[in-house]
């Protein structure tokens, strides 16, 4: 098993990519701490335990640094260490620039940028003390080419790429690898309500001719979290079926 003996903290773990990542990491031997505001995360943790894995659910708002820091302390008390952090939690509030309210812009950056900062800031001292760790950040292909009606989301995911590269430089000498994954259009709650014509347009632009599955992204997280990726640092890996070609 590729993560035997590792402890992973996964945010946004109640559904979609986060849930798929938690289940896969547990299958590969990791103990998993599931972080989400959605109580469904508790059921995911129970699913892991019923399959023989070790999991705990923590209901936390990643925008609240003090709550995040307290949670990381509890995770270390429970599991003794933290080897992997997957900053997966994110939200969308799509509107064109003319219609977007300042509150909608701020809400997305609060979760998608501040939340990533908060969780990473809270976990890094433990990883520095261990002399090892992996931080994986969820960006998006829209950070690479923009997207209509997503000023706030694109801004947030561009920021995640920037933070990833800064942290890779700062933390690499301390034994901590930091990488980002840029998913394309994945079959999750976020994409379920897209208009049919938009879905058709996406499929036409995707060489592989389908939407991604949460497991497609989870598999890349697994590789990056494992020792097989021990010389990958500061990378942004697209998981998009070729839509950015």
pLDDT at residue 120, as a whole number: 98
Residues recognised as catalytic: 153
CA distance 117 to 64: 11
pLDDT digits (tens, 9 = 90+) for 183-202: 999 987 767 777 778 788 88
Question: How are beta strands 133-138 and 236-239 bridged, if at all?
Answer: unpaired
* Contact of 86 with 18, CB cutoff 8 Å: yes
Question: Which residues in 63-160 belong to E strands, given as ranges?
Answer: 84-87, 133-138
pLDDT digits (tens, 9 = 90+) for 36-62: 999 999 999 999 999 999 999 999 999
pLDDT at residue 162, as a whole number: 98
Going from N- to C-terminal start, the domains of the chain cover 7-238
Closest CA to 33 of 92, 119, 158, 111: 119
CATH number of the structural domain 7-238: 3.40.50.720
The whole-model pTM stands at 0.96
pLDDT at residue 215, as a whole number: 98
* Contact of 224 with 28, CB cutoff 8 Å: no
Task: List, as one string, the DSSP characters of 47-91.
Answer: HHHHTT--EEEEE--TT-HHHHHHHHHHHHHHHS---EEEE----
pLDDT digits (tens, 9 = 90+) for 128-180: 999 999 999 999 999 999 989 999 999 999 999 999 999 999 999 999 999 99
| Overall average pLDDT of the 110-127 stretch | 98
Q: Among residues of the chain, what percentage have pLDDT more than 90?
A: 90
Closest CA to 88 of 183, 203, 171: 183
Tokens read off for 143: 């950070």
pLDDT at residue 127, as a whole number: 98
pLDDT at residue 199, as a whole number: 80
């Amino acid at each position: 098993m590729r993560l035997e003996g590792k402890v992973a903290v996964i945010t946004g773990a109640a559904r979609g990519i986060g849930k798929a990542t938690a289940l896969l990491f547990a299958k590969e031997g990791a103990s998993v701490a599931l972080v989400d505001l959605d109580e469904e995360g508790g059921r995911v943790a129970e699913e892991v335990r019923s399959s023989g894995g070790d999991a705990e659910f923590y209901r936390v708002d990643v925008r609240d640094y003090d709550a995040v820091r307290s949670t990381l302390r509890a995770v270390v008390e429970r599991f003794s260490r933290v080897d992997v952090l997957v900053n997966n939690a994110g939200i969308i509030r799509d509107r064109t620039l003319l219609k977007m309210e300042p509150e909608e812009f701020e809400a997305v950056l609060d979760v998608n940028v501040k939340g990533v900062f908060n969780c990473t800031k809270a976990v890094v001292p433990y990883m520095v003390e261990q002399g090892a760790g992996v931080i994986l950040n969820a960006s998006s292909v829209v950070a690479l080419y923009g997207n209509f009606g997503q000023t706030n989301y694109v801004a947030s995911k561009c920021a995640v790429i920037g933070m990833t590269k800064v942290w890779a430089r700062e933390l690499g000498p301390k034994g901590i690898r930091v990488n980002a994954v840029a998913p394309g259009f994945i079959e999750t709650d976020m994409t379920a309500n897209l208009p049919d014509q938009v879905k058709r347009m996406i499929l036409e632009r995707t060489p592989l001719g389908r939407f991604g599955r949460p497991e497609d992204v989870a598999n890349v997280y697994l590789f990056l979290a494992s020792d097989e990726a021990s010389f990958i640092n500061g990378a942004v890996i697209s998981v998009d079926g070729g839509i950015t070609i």
